[in-house]
Amino acid sequence: MIGIILGTRPEIIKMSPVIRECERRGLDYFILHTGQHYSPEMDRVFFEELELPDPDYNLDVGPGTHASQTAKIMTGVEDVLMKESPEIVLVQGDTNTAMAGALAASKLHVRVGHIEAGLRSFNRQMPEEINRVLIDHISDYLFAPTENARKNLISEGIEGSKICTTGNTIVDAVYQNLEISKRKVNVLKDLDLKPREYFLVTAHRQENVDNRGRLKEILKGLESVQKEFSMPVVFPVHPRTEKRIKELGIGVNGLNLTKPFGFLEFLQLESQARLVLTDSGGVQEETCILGVPCATMRYDTERPETLDVGSNILVGADSTSILAGVRAAATRESGWMNPYGDGIAGKMIVMVCAAARSR
């Protein structure tokens, strides 16, 4: 049996090709949803939207400090793993869900497979970086998305026999879910937008939105972009970001603030944008795959491949540098090579897991 542990919407998206492949093969598996960010009710719609089976378990952990959230997840995961006794557990990325799930499984001597292993920003101030390193060093199977990621793991002394370079499941997910979106939504029509004539924004990272000065500079930079290019700046506001804007009393002018979109709608918006501004690692990958320029509002990234191929530029969190970066990036052609694989990562991961179950 394979246990799939997830807890955030990006994890659901990147696990969707793995889940579909388990379904296709008729494998014995279960989905455990920790509810790290959202309620089961909200995420049930998300599973339906992506045409995925409902989770078998929902922990409904919710938000909290890193320590309290991790402890709740570990306790809940341990109970499920003791009941189900899987041969291998899969976690994805760098969230508290992934770290707590991997740690709980490891302590029960259940083999751990880490999807998206080996990513490094080399910035230990980011809680995600701590999670990445810990998960990689307790995992039995490390599914590296790129050669750079594999090299990071080797340099940290991880045995090469544990590493499998698969490409990134986000490629599979983008291709599969974009097809679903064409059948279900038409968000550009709903928002009266024209292809390549708007900017799209996401911002949610702790280091950006919890600092008043930094958040104020980001919003000022976005307002400057809107004024200079005279195009809509569509900003689906993450609940964390919305809360901080209100708490810190920051005014917002000239931006099209919206509620968060479902993934299918967001994917459509990404695919047709002139440029995307973000602090999300996943969005850096998605835009690279979709051929849309990206400006990342951070000073480092664990996705250096996007910089190498020219799909992405780091613009920091200063209003002047954000505008300058957008000026440079908005005129880029989209002929770069996709460094994240050919869309079969999910199949490769499940194939390795299926072989591991028989050992």
| Predicted local confidence at residue 69, as pLDDT | 92
Give yes or no for residue 294 having a pLDDT over 70.
yes
DSSP label at 45?
H
Taking the C-alpha atoms of residue 246 and residue 257, their distance in angstroms, rounded to an integer, is 13
Q: Which residues of 166-177 are buried (b: 16+ CB within 10 A; e: fewer)?
A: bbbbbbbbbebb
- Judge whether 50 and 180 are in contact, CB under 8 Å: yes
Residue 40, pLDDT score: 59
- Report the candidate in 49, 52, 41 with the shortest Cα–Cα distance to residue 16: 52
Same fold, 2-168+342-357 and 177-329: yes
Mean pLDDT of the chain: 93
Q: Is the pLDDT of residue 247 over 80?
A: yes
Structure tokens, 11: 């994890």
CB 297 within 8 A of CB 322: yes
Q: Which residues are catalytic?
A: 204
Rounded to an integer, the average pLDDT of 333-359 is 89
Task: Supply 280's token pair.
Answer: 């999300």
Q: Of 233, 159, 245, whose CA–CA distance to 209 is shortest?
A: 245
Written as one string, the DSSP assignment of 237-289 is --HHHHHHHHHTT----S-EEEPPPPHHHHHHHHHH-SEEEES-HHHHHHHHH
Residues 6+ apart with CB under 8 A from 276: 199, 200, 201, 202, 270, 283, 287, 292, 293, 294, 295
Instruction: Using pLDDT thresholds of 50, 70 and 90, give the confidence band for residue 204.
Output: confident
pLDDT at 245 over 80: yes
Domains of the chain, residue spans = 2-168+342-357, 177-329
- At 219 the pLDDT is 93
- Give the pLDDT score at 359: 58
| Average of per-residue pLDDT across 312-328 | 96
Percent of the chain with pLDDT over 70: 98
- Measured CA to CA, the distance from residue 201 to residue 276 in angstroms comes to 6
What's the confidence (pLDDT) of residue 45? 78
| CATH superfamily of the domain spanning 177-329 | Glycogen Phosphorylase B; (3.40.50.2000)
* Domain covering 2-168+342-357: architecture: 3-Layer(aba) Sandwich (3.40)
**Average pLDDT in the 224-235 region?**
97
**Residue 26: CB atoms within 10 Å:** 7
* Confidence at 211, pLDDT banded by 50, 70, 90: confident
